[in-house]
A and B are shown apart, each in its own frame.
Chain A
Amino acid sequence: MVSVSEGFGTEVPASARWTASAAAFTAWRDGDRDALDELVRLLSPILWQVVRATGLDRATAEDVVQNTWLTLVDNAEAISSPLAVSGWLCTTARREAWKVSKRVRREVATDGDVLSWALPAVDGPEDGIVLADDQVVLRRCLSRISERCQSLLRMLAAGPRPEYAEVSEALDMPVGSIGPTRARCLDKLRGELISEGAF
């Protein structure tokens, strides 16, 4: 797993997080209760991104993250290798989020209130968040590509890279078209970044 490139800045390299999670999971399964706290603290922010990438609102997303952990507690023995724990959690979270958003879509007209994939409005919950200069450019460039591309890229970016089969289910796209669509969306984004003189 590649950590985020220097230019874009990040706090924890992803690989360190997966290794620490595997160790905490092993310790917890061996009877150390405190290790579960550590595991929850390490991976909940990732699960949050995975779930939010499916378009669910914040309150529902929090609920889905909690349910995902309950599923882990009840099915810990189903995880064959400790290194698989983060992938297993993200897959479980994505499936649960997709199930819930399907139900929400059936119940409510999608006016963007409950389900929203697009970049948040300027006065959204990210008030007061300071982005690095290159992130401001990236955000501007992302907002210029289609919403479908934005949601696909957000979903592919969140957590360990998901299987195309899962993404296909979540976005209602044929599995075979995910690879080409991903390439097309990334190329569009790259084009925008180059036209901004980002490279």
Chain B
Amino acid sequence: MAGPDDDELLDAIAALWEKLDPPPDDLAEGVLARIETNDLDAELLTLVEWDKELSGVRSVAMLRAPDEVGTWSLEYLGPGFRVQLRISRSQRQARLDGWVVPAQPMTVFLTSMGAKPTTDETQVGESGRFEFPVTPTGACRLTFVSDPSSTRPLVTPPFWI
């Protein structure tokens, strides 16, 4: 029979799927951040909720295009608590509001993971609320340390602000 041989056909199928189903743009970054987190000897929080209708072809952690403005939310599950995040981005800057449920005393660090990493710090209030009124943009992650520190720090996988 004329036509391509089996290997050529399979290669063509592979190439078609690479086009139809490309990986998230930040797939490799997510992997590297996860490896790095693993090296930190911290425990990873699990992403359990996000604005599903927004995720599109981007990674679940990168809900909006970098220049988009608006508000979106993420929720992570840790041992014995949940963290809800609301990210609001305007033209000029972004802010992050968070709630730890149930409320418990913790120190929260927001680390940007760009070429020049920065870290901001705040405390979880009595109601479980915490905030970073001005945040860096790009790939970030949060680290939660219990007060007094008794367990390993808990970190989120990288997410996009």
Residues of B within 8 A of A (CB): 1-4, 6-24, 27-28, 30-32, 34-35, 38, 47, 55-57, 59-60, 157
Contact = CB atoms under 8 A, between A and B. Distances in A.
Given A49-B17, A157-B17, A125 B10 contact: no
B28 A40 contact: yes
A193 to B, nearest CB: 6
A49 B10 CA distance: 13
A53 B19 CA distance: 14
A69 B35 contact: yes
Secondary structure at the A interface, as helix, strand, loop or mixed, is helix
7 contacts: A2-B7, A40-B32, A49-B17, A52-B21, A58-B24, A186-B9, A187-B1
A161 B28 contact: no
Nearest to B2: A199
Contacts of A14: 11
Given A65-B23, A139-B16, A190-B1, 4 more contacts: A2-B7, A8-B16, A119-B20, A183-B6
Interface residues of A, number: 55
B3 A48 contact: no
Secondary structure at the B interface, as helix, strand, loop or mixed, is helix
A181 interface: no
Given A48-B27, A66-B30, A69-B34, A138 B13 contact: yes
Given A154-B13, A157-B13, A36 B23 contact: no
Contact of B27 (A65, A129, A190): A65
B17 to A, nearest CB: 6
A63 to B, nearest CB: 9
B153 to A, nearest CB: 18
Contact of B17 (A5, A53, A58, A198): A53
A183 B7 CA distance: 11
